[in-house]
Amino acid sequence: MKTLLLLLTITFSLSMQSQKNELGKVTAEELNQKTHPTDTSAVAAILFKMGDVSFEYSQQSGFFIKTNIKSKIKVYKKEGYDWGNFETLLYNENNAKQTLDIKSAYTYNLVGDKVEKTKLKADGVFDEKVNEYWSKKKITMPNVKEGSIIEIEYTIKDEGTGLIDEWTFQEEIPVDYSEYTTRIPEYYVYNTHFRGWLSPKIINEDLRESVELRSKVGQETGNSRTTFNTEQLSYKLKKTNYKLENIPAIKNESFTNNIKNYTSSLVLELAMTRFPNQMTQTYSTDWETVTKKIYDYTDFGPELNKTGYYEKDIDELLKGISSPLEKVGLIFSYVKNRMNWNEMYGYSCKSGVRSAYKDKTGNAAEINLMLTSMLRYAGLSANPILISTRSNGIALYPSRSAFNYVISGIELENQIVLLDATNKYSLPGVLPIRDLNWYGRIIRENGSSATVSLTPQKKSIDAVTLMGNINNEGEISGKVRKKLFDYNAYVFRNNYNGVSKESYIEKLEKENLGLEIEEYEVQNSVNLNEPIVENYSFKSTNSVEVIGDKLYISPLLYFTFKDNPFKQENREYPVDFIFPNQDNFKISLTIPEGYNIETLPESKVIAMPDNIAKFSYEISKNNNQIQLSYIFDINKVVIDNGYYVTLKDFFKELVNKNNEHIVLKKI
């Protein structure tokens, strides 16, 4: 009797769960829900998300992959409206392609006491080209409001690529229920990788499946009718079910590389295919194999070796030049100035290097493979480096899709100098920020490959000299000279060049309330070999607080670091500062006549363990002068989460020190 009751309970529970995860079952109670039960701060929540991957057989093209996805989402706040937008990458190259078919998509709202259902229309579906092989399907759901429930179901058909999209269990909003099922024939072998810190419940089941194969036999004598032979092909099938419930939102905090690197997710990477009576095909086994396959692609290695289109120009450019460093600088500048990046990523050429050189426009591969070829022609040891950009995520596992970009590297004086000619303001060793993503893979001419660190080693400096005068009404006026080096200069040039001086000043003043800037000038905005130099006069009305006969002054004025960027109690993923940096301030303030210095903050030096970060704060007075030397160093770029609490406390002390006041008292 007890066994029967237990079976009935389990059956009822499974039935209720199944009903709960059906589309079209939207109630007024669900629409009336104002906050998520376990996360009241959530702007939206995924009530359920289910994926089902199966391999189906076509007589014309063989096996293809069919992925069916259905999802139900609740929107709580205006900030959650974006969860009504969906994006899916689709691959298309010759006989290998992916297509997406929307089966149903509705938005539900409560109007009065009735449930209103709005269907997705054609004007809510968009196609966007990413590069020559990838496109993006975008879906914008209609009539999304606070309280809405969104339901969508779509199918992705994959013919010939063997790609199974990554399944993300965890999101930046709570997920009540996530389930993913794969049914993979014995002819396909996939490597299974998990990201994040949450582990799904996994159930494996071995099954058998069969398909009907038809082959043409011939035509009957005296008859136009074709005859076919039919046989059954039986094969093993591995069914795997992954399930996670009550998944908390992953919180995106300051100084995070790409939050998707750390969310709990499943990656299935095609390792090999082994069909009957055919050679086994391997795809992803180790990094050496992956990079060799990419190098052998017709639109990679052979493009790198093409000649006969630039030699005369390079010979003229390098006439009389023997220094390797000078050659690097001249060729790199030549390619940057001649070529225009079409903002297409990837490591494959589309039009080819010759055509790109002629048209002066190309994708990342065409520009940087062209650059590599020219450097080799000049006698330099240059090779392409495959990387994954920050937006693509960290290349954790050996696979063709781990990389989405290529740069160039020169082995010079026992180091590899990194180059990317797609950006006009990059320099040797100063890459676009999108490239700074842990590690890349250099492919040498002899076929070998090796890991290359993409993390900058040289510290980028932001040096500020400020001389100011304080008046008895609490205003500070003076002059500033600011010098920016390396990555700080690169970031400035990308933000400043192309913007009018007036617009830039207006932006600075808006970012710092009470600041007025005059006589602003910039030096070296296009001279990349020199640091950026900013000079301007300023007046600040927001750096001094007047209370009675006292003036309370923030010594760093409008440069004051006001808030700790690290808010969470704990953090499960690394902190990423992108590049090592130093803020160096030399500030001299003249106090007004009739005032004495009543209080000065104490000088202080604080350092983190293992030389991760340090700040020194030295302040002194000399007659009517206050002088501050403030240096803040970030020495390590990627900081393990084990240091998070120490880092958070370090920034807390830094912020506290920044917000201490000089107190002047009227005589």
Helix H segments across 378-500?
A: 486-496
* pTM of the complete model: 0.86
Positions in the chain short of pLDDT 50 = 1-18
Which residues are CB-contacts of 500 (< 8 A; sequence separation ≥ 6)? none
Q: What is the pLDDT of residue 16?
A: 47
The CA distance from 371 to 356, in Å, is 12
DSSP for residue 275: -
Cα end-to-end span (Å), the chain: 94
Q: How far apart are CA 362 and CA 41, in angstroms?
A: 45
Cα separation, 225 vs 618, in Å, equals 97
Burial class of residue 132 in the structure, from the number of CB atoms within 10 Å of its CB (0-12 exposed, 13-18 middle, 19+ buried): middle
Which region holds residue 656: left if phi is over 0, alpha if psi is between -120 and 50, else beta? alpha
- Rg (C-alpha) for the chain, rounded Å, is 31
Tell me what pLDDT residue 219 has.
Answer: 56
In angstroms, the CA 581 to CA 489 distance is 12
Residues 6+ apart with CB under 8 A from 138: 85, 86, 87, 125, 126, 127, 128
